[in-house]
């Protein structure tokens, strides 16, 4: 927790709040979520017993978690390429990720308030009898609500896959090439060739010379 606090403090100090790029990520994240939600509602629409209110909130949940999944992938990829050393966008991406995770949480809370005998009719078709309400509709609505919770596994699944892919950190190797007059060039080239052939693919090599 202490390391996280130190890193977060560093992100805040390095963040460029007065630049367009800093606010572009949160703005694009929210716009992408809205666009995906709109398209999702129009493409899939109402199906079965669930009404439009439920479909819209479910679309918010799925769209937001897809955006969170993309952000996690972007953060992991740029971190592996040491991109943040040149562009201090960590805080901006974290704000975007938090926003993308808050939207589905709010949607779940909004859906939860409909699960009562009085409000259940707002998200499902009105039952013909009280018996159908107690046994069929409520059970169906509860299953649909529980299914929405599983969508939260999307970012976790993405993070797990990326963690496996980036399990090996990049090694920074510095080689000094002796190009002085006392050094035979063929000997140096043979040494470099032998060194490179024994290295793995996850290496970043910096080659310098003495002169």
Q: What is the CA radius of gyration of the chain?
A: 26
Token pair, residue 130, equals 């009280």
**Is the separation of the CB atoms in 21 and 89 below 8 Å?**
yes
Q: Residue for token digits 């929210």?
A: 30
How far apart CA 183 and CA 181 sit, in angstroms, is 5
**Is the separation of the CB atoms in 59 and 37 below 8 Å?**
yes
Per-residue pLDDT of the chain (211 residues; tens, 9 = 90+): 566 566 667 777 777 788 888 899 999 999 999 999 999 888 776 666 677 788 888 889 989 999 998 998 888 888 777 777 778 888 888 899 999 999 998 988 888 877 766 667 667 766 545 555 555 666 667 777 777 778 888 777 777 766 665 555 566 677 776 666 666 667 767 777 777 666 666 666 777 776 6
How far apart CA 189 and CA 23 sit, in angstroms, is 49
Q: Residue for token digits 């703005």?
A: 27
At residue 127, the 3 state secondary structure works out as coil
Where do the structural domains in the chain lie, given as residue ranges? 2-165, 171-209
How far apart CA 93 and CA 116 sit, in angstroms, is 38
How far apart CA 131 and CA 205 sit, in angstroms, is 72
**In sequence order, which residues have a C-beta less than 8 Å from that of residue 31 and are 6 or more positions away?**
none
How far apart CA 205 and CA 171 sit, in angstroms, is 8
How far apart CA 96 and CA 140 sit, in angstroms, is 34
How far from chain centre, in Å, is Cα 31? Answer: 16
pLDDT of res. 99: 92
List alpha helices for 45-134, DSSP H.
52-80, 90-112, 130-132
**In sequence order, which residues have a C-beta less than 8 Å from that of residue 170 and are 6 or more positions away?**
80, 82, 202, 203, 204
């Amino acid at each position: 927790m202490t390391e996280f606090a130190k890193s977060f403090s560093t992100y805040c100090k390095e963040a460029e709040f007065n630049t367009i790029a800093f606010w572009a990520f949160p703005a694009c994240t929210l716009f992408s979520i809205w666009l995906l939600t709109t398209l999702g509602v129009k493409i899939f629409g109402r199906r079965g017993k669930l009404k439009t209110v439920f479909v819209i909130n479910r679309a918010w949940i799925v769209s937001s978690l897809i955006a969170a999944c993309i952000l996690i992938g972007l953060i992991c990829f740029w971190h592996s390429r040491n991109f943040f050393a040149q562009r201090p966008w960590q805080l901006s991406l974290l704000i975007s990720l938090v926003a993308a995770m808050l939207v589905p949480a709010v949607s779940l809370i909004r859906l939860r308030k409909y699960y009562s005998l009085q409000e259940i009719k707002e998200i499902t078709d009105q039952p013909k009898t009280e018996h159908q309400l107690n046994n069929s509709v409520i059970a169906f609505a509860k299953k649909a609500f529980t299914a929405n919770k599983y969508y939260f596994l999307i970012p976790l699944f993405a993070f797990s896959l990326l963690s496996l892919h980036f399990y090996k950190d990049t090694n920074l190797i510095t080689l000094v090439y002796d190009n002085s007059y006392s050094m035979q060039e063929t000997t140096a080239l043979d040494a470099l060739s032998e060194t490179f052939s024994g290295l793995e693919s996850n290496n970043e090599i910096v080659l310098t010379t003495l002169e």
